[in-house]
Chains A and B, each alone.
Chain A
């Protein structure tokens, strides 16, 4: 999950996920299994050469590509082995005589626990009194215990992501959708489909939070919503007006459609519930699920935040950059990214009238922006035919860039960090090396040619599926390894019933995050407002006439035998003052190299309270 902070909560009324792409999935190794599988697999008969690719995707795939993976995982059994040895030394016996094969608490690897740690211990604290220190120690111990608990519960995340691997030297990009469909099971194969809708022009599409429902709107007024897994149509209407964008609100029951003039909201039966005239000529829509905010960007250059829980417009910000038609949200901190024609991307929050930051990304105008689910990377494509990835952690510097033959018009990140770009009628997908690494643009992971020009792209949450809206209709592509395999049953459960959805709705509304909390660093809430603190302190000093916390100035003691002359008093005072000054200088000298080090290293990824925006 990268830096997703939500603790894993599996096992609560979650049916087992059968319809993930099981072929692409590595079977999880159980503790009772020995490491004999690779050798046994190696002995299996080799397949015919002409079916090479398909063999690649089979679940019982018995080839050497697997073995290095095993060896990489082989750390695990070592950890498990240790307690076993301990058990041999002193076997604890219960009353019944049965032995606990794994005595004691389950072992937790340090790296996993590290993922859940929030306190940055590398930061030096000013010297603290014993009472304070005890409080700090308590807090640190608590944090450690909790992180260990969270890490332990990660053991219950049984599902593993799918993957696609080529045999030595084989390019995965050459594997066509048809091959994949042929290789996977029927349930997964059913997830690849094309909707031929040539009549109503290029389509925009949107998946619901749970990934179960799909809504799409054609430019010529065709709006439809369906449960795309079962292919059950929920509604289909024609709004008789140009449809610019379409988006699900917090649940699949509400649908926002940006039409030619105004913003309309429909329910899942296609009944128009609202027409919001304050949002006119909307070009793009974004929904911030934890704040219940619908962000709209308009042709008139306004970015409007609409609180859908109370139906109020929270903020209407003038971007002063002409027509806005490139917008995306950062799921990590709910900041809206707008792309402008002057090559800049601006970052917005409803609390500020000006952009939080402005980044010059391209020499030409910005055509598309996408931010990955951990809020670490931003991908932009511009009129200069370049595709760039930026580091969003403080520095906003480009990490990699690549010139595409025709430039990418649409970009999308998947939950696991795959980057899809729609260029003309081709979709390219890139993947990164590791889990939290940016997509390397060296060579594509998958490519697919569509029957029309791409007009909308979105990865389906919790399914290895990429939905592409184009001028010829809708295409649902299979992209192994795109989605997060384990979902939080209380947060976004694809299998939830109506009752569960209602329950969730109430809870989500109760936990709604105020709109003004949106800022670049969501952990700012866990910080003290230093400016107000200092202001209050200053006021207090003014009121009292002295600083109650300050150290009393040094007063030399009177001495006998004429040594208490004014000159000597002054001298003594001077001495103490000089000593203090020397201390200060020493301290600052010590701090200087530290500061330089700090400046040298880039801001690390810190886990944050608002990581739960990660979908």
Chain B
């Protein structure tokens, strides 16, 4: 029955569907006409029933569509229904059961999963793999860098690098071939045999060997056990540390800190009792911390953190507290550790002050040992030096007290620090002076410099006085005399100069180099022929000119006249050379003087001329590109215009200043010595970028002529030494202490693409 009913209803459904599919205005078949009205209603109901299935009473507009080919066997088509059937709906039983909820959840999860994205194309993947592999490889290879660096910088490499262990030959083998030959040997041999000592073959008796072996095994076991224990302990410790590190409680940390401080103090007390030296060391550490603090000013509320806190301090009590803590710490750190000798009477107070201050036992030790306390050390050395200084008669006033009371000094070092420091300063300066006196060379050089400068000044003075009093001879003489007195004071000149007036008067005519040059430029050297007034005019002119620039040039230039006519004092020799014709000596001398004077004038002029020529010759030449006759009239006697010449003149760049620019009496050849340059280095070797750097490394001669034998050997050691007959193997990782070879690392990477770095993952995503 029920089966028939179901079939009927299904049939009805089919009919409805068909009806629905048909257009409304489509003429229905006559056979179904009668059940038209009732069918309509039924269909409505069915629709409502279906739509109410998911609880939402929603009406969907029926879509018009073609008759579908995909008609299920139950004549139900999915199209047009507009409702989606969820899988879980189908699974839902009539009555809800809790056991299916999990399945539903799983289904939901599956549903929420996104689709798998397309894999990257092959090239890109390969590229990324390559890059990663490269990075990894270079990383593994960079392990070798220090070794390579070391070998490169080594002064000498001896190959083979690892010393081969000498072939182990047990002594028994060596002794096998040995026989007692000499009587003494035989005697000893006999003795050994008598006492049943192992002579040749086994050096150790078998029992001994066995015991040795056993020992070694035991040892090995013990060692292993120890190692295991250590490893376990370490892991425990690490775990604990990790755990403790994660604790964020401030209180906990505060308590911890306090406990630590207490413990340290306790330890120190103990140490002091048991081992004062170690305690002293601890103390030094404290002192060092203090010094560091003093140097760094770390806790003076000046850091970034402190500044930020300072802003907050107004409102935040905690911040204020932190700042104060820091300041307290600074104070504590910078507080000087009291030295007992200084404060023997303050001992009571010291105890009151408590933990941080130092017990006196420590201080005593400090006093006796030559500790690193700078003040103490200085005291000591100062004493030593004083003892030396005492010998000096000059140093009397200072050390009178110190000498008497060395012990006192040690008791009150702070009070005398300053005195000592002063003394050191003085002594240093004294030593410097004495050093200066000893090497007279620099001093003398300075003197000569000063001398030359004074000479210049004096020459100027003289020149001025001459200009002013040219005509009045007496006056001039006086003036010159006065100048000369200065001169004589300066140079301690004996009174031999008056004997040679012609020599002296020469320079007064052509006073300065400029004058001389000017005159010689005019072509004729008319110093003597020049009429007096004209000369005077010239000089007046020069006097009227602002003399500053002239003076400046003079300072730079060393006056040639001065050089050649320095009034050198004559030697008062004990043994005056005998001269043949003594009778007309005076006359002859005069004549020669005059002759020499005239010759000298020529000498100077010629030299200046020569120098000018040399300077001209060494100057780079201008290039004149003017072609006469182009763009203007040409012909004999016609010159191209100045404008044109200027236009086509290529000026040569001015070379570097000549070495003899300020040395009027010298011509230094500026030409390059090509033959010598051929021997010089002309290429900079690799790591050097500037020739001065390289020059510095080749300054020291390496020949045995200039060095001691040892130094010579050291300088000429070959960089690489190979031993003949030895195979030089490539360096191994095991030799330098590496376990894993680089290849295994690589293979790991390539097999595990998961190990891609973040960057590469990003890159992948982007692609």
Shortest beta-carbon distance, B642 to chain A, in Å?
35
Shortest beta-carbon distance, B581 to chain A, in Å?
13
- Which residues 531-585 of B sit at the A interface, judged by CB distance below 8 A? 558, 560, 563-566, 568-579
Let me know if B603 and A125 touch, CB within 8 A: no
Residue count of chain A within 8 Å CB distance of chain B:
102
6 nearest CB pairs, A to B: A424-B577, A363-B600, A516-B675, A401-B568, A529-B680, A528-B691
Let me know if B676 and A351 touch, CB within 8 A: yes
Q: Which residue of A lies closest to B435 (CB)?
A: A111
- Which residues 588-624 of B sit at the A interface, judged by CB distance below 8 A? 596-597, 599-600, 603-604, 606-607, 610
Contact flag A355-B577 (CB < 8 Å), given A125-B692, A428-B571: no
Let me know if B689 and A135 touch, CB within 8 A: no
Let me know if B573 and A444 touch, CB within 8 A: yes
Contact flag A425-B577 (CB < 8 Å), given A358-B666, A360-B607, A528-B694: yes
Binds B, one of A1-9, A56-64, A570-578: A1-9
Q: Which residues of A contact B (CB under 8 A)?
A: 5-7, 9, 72, 78, 118-119, 123, 125-126, 128-129, 131-132, 134-136, 139-140, 142-143, 145-146, 149-150, 153, 171, 173-174, 342-344, 349, 351-352, 354-364, 383-384, 386-388, 394-406, 423-426, 428, 433-434, 436-438, 441, 443-444, 447-449, 491, 511, 514, 516-519, 524-533, 536, 602, 609, 612
CA–CA, A532 and B687, complex, Å: 19
CA–CA, A358 and B563, complex, Å: 15
Q: Pick from A9, A397, A443: contact of B708, CB below 8 A.
A: A9
Q: Pick from B577, B676, B680, B707: contact of A146, CB below 8 A.
A: B707
Shortest beta-carbon distance, B543 to chain A, in Å?
29
Shortest beta-carbon distance, A607 to chain B, in Å?
9
Shortest beta-carbon distance, B287 to chain A, in Å?
23
Contact flag A136-B696 (CB < 8 Å), given A342-B603, A524-B676, A528-B681: yes
With a cutoff of 8 Å between Cβ atoms, the chain A residues found around residue B169 in the complex are: none
With a cutoff of 8 Å between Cβ atoms, the chain B residues found around residue A5 in the complex are: 701, 706
Let me know if B448 and A444 touch, CB within 8 A: no
Q: Pick from B439, B692, B697: contact of A135, CB below 8 A.
A: B697
Q: What are 24 A-B contacts defined by CB distance under 8 Å? A: A7-B705, A7-B708, A126-B689, A128-B690, A139-B699, A143-B699, A146-B700, A150-B711, A351-B675, A357-B669, A360-B603, A363-B600, A388-B568, A395-B663, A396-B665, A403-B568, A403-B569, A406-B579, A423-B577, A443-B572, A532-B682, A533-B683, A533-B691, A609-B701
How many pairs, one residue from A and one from B, have CB atoms within 8 Å of each other in the complex? Answer: 266
Let me know if A126 and B705 touch, CB within 8 A: no
Knowing that A129-B687, A171-B574, A434-B441 touch, tell me 15 more A-B residue pairs with CB under 8 angstroms: A128-B689, A136-B697, A142-B700, A349-B673, A363-B597, A363-B600, A384-B503, A384-B596, A394-B659, A396-B665, A403-B500, A516-B673, A518-B676, A532-B680, A533-B682
Does B677 belong to the interface (CB within 8 Å)? Answer: yes
Does B303 belong to the interface (CB within 8 Å)? Answer: no
Q: Which residue of A lies closest to B568 (CB)?
A: A401
CA–CA, A473 and B681, complex, Å: 52
Q: Pick from B558, B572, B678, B679: contact of A397, CB below 8 A.
A: B558
- Which residues 745-762 of B sit at the A interface, judged by CB distance below 8 A? none
Shortest beta-carbon distance, A350 to chain B, in Å?
9
Let me know if A424 and B579 touch, CB within 8 A: yes
Q: Which residue of B lies closest to A363 (CB)?
A: B600
With a cutoff of 8 Å between Cβ atoms, the chain B residues found around residue A72 in the complex are: 438
Q: Pick from A140, A143, A343, A441: contact of B571, CB below 8 A.
A: A441
With a cutoff of 8 Å between Cβ atoms, the chain B residues found around residue A386 in the complex are: 568
Let me know if B669 and A355 touch, CB within 8 A: yes
Shortest beta-carbon distance, A351 to chain B, in Å?
4
CA–CA, A525 and B569, complex, Å: 42
B445-456 contact mask (Cβ, 8 Å, vs A): 1 or 0: 100110010000
CA–CA, A426 and B574, complex, Å: 10
Q: Pick from B607, B659, B682, B707: contact of A7, CB below 8 A.
A: B707
Does B732 belong to the interface (CB within 8 Å)? Answer: no
Q: Pick from A364, A394, A449: contact of B599, CB below 8 A.
A: A364
Contact flag A357-B666 (CB < 8 Å), given A403-B496, A517-B676: yes
Q: Which residue of B lies closest to A428 (CB)?
A: B573
Q: Which residue of B lies closest to A393 (CB)?
A: B445
Let me know if A364 and B707 touch, CB within 8 A: no
Let me know if A362 and B708 touch, CB within 8 A: no
Shortest beta-carbon distance, A205 to chain B, in Å?
20
Shortest beta-carbon distance, A146 to chain B, in Å?
4
With a cutoff of 8 Å between Cβ atoms, the chain B residues found around residue A399 in the complex are: 448
Does B126 belong to the interface (CB within 8 Å)? Answer: no
Contact flag A142-B448 (CB < 8 Å), given A135-B697, A401-B566: no
- Which residues 422-461 of B sit at the A interface, judged by CB distance below 8 A? 438-441, 444-445, 448-449, 452
Q: Which residue of B lies closest to A511 (CB)?
A: B705
Shortest beta-carbon distance, A253 to chain B, in Å?
23
Does B667 belong to the interface (CB within 8 Å)? Answer: yes
Contact flag A125-B440 (CB < 8 Å), given A134-B153, A143-B700, A402-B570: no
Q: Pick from B569, B576, B596, B693: contact of A363, CB below 8 A.
A: B596
Q: Which residue of B lies closest to A35 (CB)?
A: B391
Q: Which residue of A lies closest to B447 (CB)?
A: A399
Shortest beta-carbon distance, B455 to chain A, in Å?
11
With a cutoff of 8 Å between Cβ atoms, the chain A residues found around residue B698 in the complex are: 526
CA–CA, A504 and B45, complex, Å: 136
Shortest beta-carbon distance, A352 to chain B, in Å?
6
Shortest beta-carbon distance, A369 to chain B, in Å?
15
Does B671 belong to the interface (CB within 8 Å)? Answer: yes
